[in-house]
A and B are shown apart, each in its own frame.
Chain A
Amino acid sequence: MKRVILLMAVLLMAVGAYAQTTVEFWHAMTGHNGEMVQAICDQFNASQKDYKVVPVYKGSYSDTMNAGIAAYRAGQPPAIIQVYEVGTATMMAAKNAVKPVYQLMAENNMKWDSSIYIPTIKSYYSTSDGRMLSMPFNSSTAVMYYNKDAFRKAGLDPEKPPVTWPEFFEVAKKLKASGMEGGFTTNWISWIQLENFSAWHNLPFGTRSNGFDGLDTQLVFNSPIHVRHFQNIYDLSKTGVFIYGGRENKANPLFTSGRVGMHFESIGGYGNMKATCKFDFGVARLPYYPDVPGAPQNSIIGGASLWVFNGKSKAEYKTVAEFFNFISQPETQALWHKETGYLPITQAAYELTKSQGYYEKNPGLEVAIKQLLNKAPTANSMGIRFGNFNIIREIEDQTWEEILAGKISVKDGLDKMVREGNKTLREFEKLYK
């Protein structure tokens, strides 16, 4: 008898599967984060039987985006694609290729209110008049990680991480003097030390509200304060207090293997830090220069959002809308937030996590949220939106290496980044005018 019931269940499921609409969701999440994407899709698929979302891991962010673009050109795009923040302007400019989220939600009569999302996150993915174009998914911000054991060994208070940059550099020197290979390193030189640095000090990264107000924007991150900051890091690289670890997130092993005591990395890397660090570590806010008026302002997000491709069927769009609604639920968000370290995208999810007492045990995660919500965002700290931003970041990475290698002075290097970056901005403008 049991077997018959089982058989019937299987048959029913098969029939159900037959009527289901299935859409693909291409993403770049790996490791535990990748498992959580799978888990959330599984939950969604199990929660009803009309729709099914199939997550497909497509490699790095740029691999994923390129695969999506190539597939769009080939006429076979997935319904949903995860695009990293640097691809935002490119996706926005591709008006024919994407279906804006606000439109998707309206067409499918979803009860959906975009004001539930955290302002800094929402604004990053919206038009300047507030219409949301893509669905925030994994949002993170840059924070400082520090090795508490190393602090103790150097005679520093592990509960008092440095707050300002001058303090930070002193601590870094002490850490090196205590026998570490170096004091600090950083990932994502552009995102953390230029973009977040600018927002955190309420300085413009580019004109026209960091590109939000139009394509005729210019980069301006070669101000004296930027130059001073880079000069400080450069000077410390000469004495080995700063160690360069490579582009993107390649510097991680320097911190996780205990060779440097402080590190800048996305809060999205929190889970990974927990898994790989064999020592006690803490998370702190980004340092700031106290003489800069308005600092600290608020940091900006990074990570990725979900875009919807054009040209899909009604049933597919319905599936996507239902899925987006599902992932915006406080419970889903809280789970995602706790498991991955990415920020909750809605205020409700933050409150829920807080009420569960989660931050008492994991203060690091709240540091990031508080930093993001520190003050109401200004034109300098809403986010950044530049076309060809991938190329601009690459120019920054390359020039930073030239600075460290002593090929070019700090000032000239930053000027060069701005000059070359502006050239690519003009090309983008020409194409999309």
Chain B
Amino acid sequence: MSKQYEFKASILPYLLVLPQMVIVFVFFFWPAGQAVLQSFYLQDPFGGKMIFVGFQNYSKLLADPDYWQSFSVSTAFAVCITLGAMAISLFLAIQANKKIRFASFYKTMLIWPYAVSTLVAGVIWLFMFNPNVGVIAYVLKHTFHVDWQYLLNFNQAFLLLTLAATWKQLAYNFVFFLAGLQSVPATLIEAAEIDGAKSGTRFWKIIFPLLSPTTFYLLVMNLVYGFFETFPIVHSITQGAPGKSTAILVYKVWRDGVINLDLGSSAAQSVILMLLVIMLTVFQFRFIERRVTY
């Protein structure tokens, strides 16, 4: 980067970054600062009383087995979604990238659900599997005699959430994998074919390494999605039930802050999550940056 050509201007670059910087400071650093501040206080919801409690909000959280339970469920949830969604999407992307008839039709059919929001995904799956009204729940119960009551059965609840969240993420991953596959030079694939390499070997030896930037990017994005963006799914399907076993971290932040009005604890949780995401971001950045400068 050092030897690259760069414009020299004194004010212009500042003017250019100004809007983005203003937005970042007003809508990120300012609120984040407030969150840090609030995390040291016990506060009444109306903002009338604030009692400084030091690190009590943090120590209470870290000593709370529920918090660690929430932590491990979130991790398991994120990992399952990531693995499931990436494997299925990669497989479908490979199929759709082959020179077959109707390929563009298939692509369109698999890409458009990218537009489906997480909330809608949650609502749809709730609607299918709800033990009181859901049609699939009915079939499970009456045709397969499964004791389907995910509100009381953690495994069922976890499975349902994972399915819904994975379903929603398929198209996203598909798009990126497809883009990745399309940027693999066709000559490389052909060359491998001429060499007579079996399709499996060909894929893992030649194509997959070329896809690794995409894969890595998706790995991080899927983890972030699984950890943080699945809130609407949990919110609409289980609301943390059974007990609070499926209350993932961001659901807990929201629940404690917005519903239970425990602002101090919610702020402390926000701070922890922010640190977590920032760490993930820096980690990813390091990886990408290394690739780019090579």
Contacts and interface: CB of A to CB of B under 8 A. Distances in A.
Tell me, yes or no, whether A and B come into direct contact in the complex with CB atoms closer than 8 A: yes
Interface of A: 62, 66, 69, 72-73, 90, 93-97, 244-247, 250-254, 257, 388, 390-391, 394, 397-399, 401-402, 404-405, 407, 427, 430-432
B239 interface: yes
Interface in B235-256: 239-244
Contacts of B279: none
19 contacts: A66-B258, A66-B259, A73-B47, A95-B48, A96-B46, A97-B46, A244-B149, A244-B152, A245-B132, A246-B132, A247-B239, A250-B132, A390-B261, A394-B260, A398-B243, A399-B243, A401-B243, A405-B242, A407-B243
Contacts of B261: 66, 69, 90, 388, 390
B262 interface: yes
Interface in B131-153: 131-133, 149, 151-153
B132 A93 contact: no
A237 B154 CA distance: 17
Contacts, number: 84
A398 B240 contact: yes
A62 B131 CA distance: 24
Nearest to A97: B46
A186 B258 CA distance: 27
A104 to B, nearest CB: 18
A96 B48 contact: yes
Interface of B: 42-49, 51, 131-133, 149, 151-154, 239-244, 258-262
A10 B45 CA distance: 45
Nearest to A387: B44
Contact of A97 (B48, B239, B244, B258): B48
A173 to B, nearest CB: 20
A398 B252 CA distance: 14
B132 A402 contact: no
B55 to A, nearest CB: 16
B262 A401 contact: no
A90 B153 CA distance: 33
A401 B260 contact: no
B242 A390 contact: no
Contacts of B152: 244, 401, 404-405
Contact of B153 (A73, A97, A394, A405): A405
A430 B241 contact: no
A90 B244 contact: no
A103 to B, nearest CB: 18
A431 B264 CA distance: 12
A93 B45 CA distance: 10
Contacts of B43: 431
Nearest to A240: B147
B11 to A, nearest CB: 36
B1 to A, nearest CB: 45
Which one of B44, B45, B51 has the highest number of Cβ atoms from chain A below 10 Å of its Cβ? B45
Nearest to A399: B243
Interface SS of chain A: helix
A246 B151 contact: yes
A96 B49 CA distance: 10
B73 to A, nearest CB: 14
Contact of A94 (B46, B132, B258): B46
Given A66-B259, A388-B260, A401 B42 contact: no
Nearest to B262: A391
Nearest to A94: B46
A97 B45 CA distance: 10
Contacts of B262: 388, 391
Contacts of B47: 72-73
Contacts of A69: 45-46, 261
B46 A402 contact: no
Contact of B46 (A72, A245, A394): A72
A244 to B, nearest CB: 6
A47 to B, nearest CB: 33
Q: Which 8 A-B pairs have the closest CB atoms?
A: A253-B132, A97-B46, A401-B242, A94-B46, A398-B243, A405-B152, A402-B243, A73-B47
Contacts of B240: 398
A253 B130 CA distance: 11
Contacts of A407: 243
A391 B260 contact: yes
Contacts of A72: 46-47
Contact of B44 (A93, A251, A254, A391): A93
Contacts of A391: 260, 262
A89 B49 CA distance: 16
Nearest to A401: B242
A73 B243 CA distance: 32
B244 A398 contact: yes
A169 B242 CA distance: 25
Nearest to A181: B141
Given A90-B261, A391-B260, A399-B243, A251 B132 contact: yes
A404 B49 CA distance: 39
A397 B259 CA distance: 15
Contacts of A247: 239, 241
Contacts of A96: 46, 48
Nearest to B239: A247
B57 to A, nearest CB: 11
Nearest to A69: B45
